[in-house]
Structure 1
Amino acid sequence: MLITQCQQADVALLEEHLPSPSRTSFHAQRFARQGVGTSTYLVAWLADRPVANAEIRWNGCAATEVRQAVPNCPEINGLSVTEPLRGGGIGTALIRHAERLAVERGVQRIGLGVDDDGNPRAAALYARLGYRPVVRYLDRWSYTAHDGEVHDIEDPCVFLAKELTSAPTPDLGVRVQ
């Protein structure tokens, strides 16, 4: 497996293999934020195919509750691994890579949100990696589906955070570019 920072040419491949549910590409939006320096968009590859992605939002979670509870805490956002490959260590590798990038920037804490009840496997992974609950919040976002219908989403979530050390756990068997 290889983890890279997203490049312009990767956006179309991401859309092909990990399609956005909306007319506007989530991948293009994440790449645009990376372009202005507010995030880093990571892509995990097997051979020449993207199989997972995650965005580090350097300016933190958008939810007011989270910003008040953990100010100046970057957020690992939108972590996604293709269904047949979940549980194989790819999500762990992406999180560890994000943690390393945060440490390189001098960040002392990083966090992420997880569905309050809907994603027990992810919650177990985050706990295993040292993330601890900080605050409950509603993750609010919207998108326009391919059929033109607007969907306003409110997901009850828990924001988890982890204190970082200067020497995060290495990724074994993962190449990074």
Structure 2
Amino acid sequence: MHESHHSGQLAGDTTYLVAWRDDEPLGSGVVQWGGCIGPSAREAFPRAVEINHLQVRDEYRSQGVGTALIAAAEQLIGRKGMPQAAVGVAHDNPHAERLYLGLGYRRTGITDVSEYSWVSDDGTVQQANERDQVLVKDLLQGPDRHCE
């Protein structure tokens, strides 16, 4: 997965963020410059930039790593003048939902389903379907704000 994220950054489609402590990666996330991945979210929030694949290693959860990754992503998005950030959170991940809501994201009532595959450590291809509710946050304030 990390190789795919890095490839996206090299192509200019994404920015791959990694939180480090010394030489140890603590977590990572991806800024999708092309907008929201899910079709319903893309239609409802055409100017939003999606932050996805946020992952924090188990032993570093609840220590501010996810918050720092989201803050770094929002700074990048804001510097490009984009008005909104969006995240998708799985219905079975209340911890992540609490994090996003606490950081100022709001529920939209929109759910998208994503299908994806990955190769597990033993080399087998795994398939998954994920139902994500879309949360958004307005990043720009004042007269330049053009949010949905």
Alignment RMSD, CA only? 1.4
Stretches (4+) displaced over 4 A: none
Q: How many residues align?
A: 140
Q: 1:80 and 2:55 equivalent?
A: yes
How far off its partner does 1:148 sit?
4.4
Matched-pair contact (CA < 8 Å) for 1:58–1:74:
yes
Task: Indicate the residue corresponding to 1:52 in structure 2.
Answer: 27
Task: Indicate the residue corresponding to 1:132 in structure 2.
Answer: 106
If asked which structure has higher relative contact order (CA below 8 Å, sep 6+), I would say 1
Separation of aligned partners in 1, 2:37 and 2:127? 16
1:74 is paired with a residue whose SS is strand
Structure 2 length as normaliser, TM-score? Answer: 0.88
Q: 2:3 aligns with which of 7, 24, 28?
A: 28
Task: Indicate the residue corresponding to 2:145 in structure 1.
Answer: none
Task: Indicate the residue corresponding to 2:97 in structure 1.
Answer: 123
How far off its partner does 1:146 sit?
4.0
Separation of aligned partners in 2, 1:38 and 1:55? 10
Separation of aligned partners in 2, 1:52 and 1:146? 19
Matched-pair contact (CA < 8 Å) for 1:59–1:72:
no
1:59 is paired with a residue whose SS is coil
Q: 1:144 and 2:119 equivalent?
A: yes
Q: CA-to-partner distance for each residue in 1:28-50, whole Å, 9 max, x for gaps?
A: 11111101111111110111111
Task: Indicate the residue corresponding to 1:107 in structure 2.
Answer: 82
Task: Indicate the residue corresponding to 1:18 in structure 2.
Answer: none
Unaligned runs of 5+ in 2: 142-148
**Matched AA of 2:69:** L
Q: 1:98 and 2:59 equivalent?
A: no
**Overall identity of the aligned pairs, in %:** 36
Structure 1 length as normaliser, TM-score? Answer: 0.75
